[in-house]
Amino acid sequence: RDKVVVVTGASRGIGFATSRVFGEEGARVVMAARNAETLERSAEAIRGETGCTVHTMACDLTKEDQCARLVAFAERTHGRIDILVNNASGKLPIGEFATMTSEAWLTAWTNKLQIYVTLARQVFPIMQRQNGGRIINVIGAHAARNPAPSYLPIGVISAGLINFVKGLADLGAKHQILVTGVSPAGVDTGERWQSWLARRAASEGKTIEEVSAEKSEYSLGRPAKPEEIADVICFLGSS
């Protein structure tokens, strides 16, 4: 209750579900995503359902100055930042290693890993001054631990972020900054999930049905729901 939470990639999927569950707990939520209209619509839904205080900022977090603008906005509005949920990710490339360009690899890097690192670096001194905070990173354990030839960059980025979380957690511990990673396998987030299945199918020469039927990745025999991931994130943000 009353904690200030910045959620990136908040307009839909896991970020939206996370913003809503923090709203239900009475937190003050700052939602960030690329598209202003979709973001405001999502924020309005959460305000209506939960009655909590929600602010929005449309931004492209691959740009360092826009990360800084978001962090400054949250701190100026609420005087502190208790929790950062690093969740925003642009599209990550899928395809053959031999034909994947350096540009595609660098875009993958910028579209996820660099956003997480930049925002963590920017909120860290604020949390140090407060003597506490939470940095929760949504990663992807399956890709991190099971390298798949058709989406190597996703595996590399996920494994890198898991390493980053552990290192930053050690650094944050003495300042009461708890740094954690939440690593789902597949989560049915609608558009991203469907596009992921379609792109994987195309790259592996299978049908979408064949790819969806590969349930070995999911212990429950189905992809997770965004709300299930959001509950874990909210727990990690709680006292």
Query: Which range in 83-91, 96-104, 119-127, 166-174 contacts ligand NAD by CB under 6 A?
Result: 83-91
**Among the listed residues 62, 6, 59, 12, the one whose alpha carbon sits nearest the alpha carbon of residue 31:** 6
Chain positions 123 to 142 lying near ligand NAD, rule: CB under 6 A, are: 138, 140
d(CA 156, CA 95): 14
Chain positions 42 to 81 lying near ligand NAD, rule: CB under 6 A, are: 59-62
Closer Cβ to ligand NAD, 80 or 192, answer by number: 192
| Pairs from 230-233 (Cβ < 8 Å, separation ≥ 24) | 230/14, 230/17, 230/18, 230/20, 230/21, 231/21, 232/182, 233/14, 233/18, 233/21, 233/85, 233/136, 233/138, 233/182
Does 89 interact with ligand NAD (rule: CB under 6 A)? yes
Does 160 interact with ligand NAD (rule: CB under 6 A)? no
Closer Cβ to ligand NAD, 174 or 191, answer by number: 191
Closer Cβ to ligand NAD, 14 or 201, answer by number: 14
Q: Which residue has the tokens 């552990």?
A: 166
Closer Cβ to ligand NAD, 128 or 193, answer by number: 193
Query: Which range in 45-53, 85-93, 172-180, 231-239 contacts ligand NAD by CB under 6 A?
Result: 85-93
The helix/strand/coil state of 177 is: strand
Instruction: Give the other-Cβ count within 10 Å of 37's Cβ.
Output: 9
Q: What are the residues binding ligand NAD (CB under 6 A)?
A: 8-15, 32-35, 59-62, 87-90, 112, 138, 140, 184, 186-187, 189, 192-193
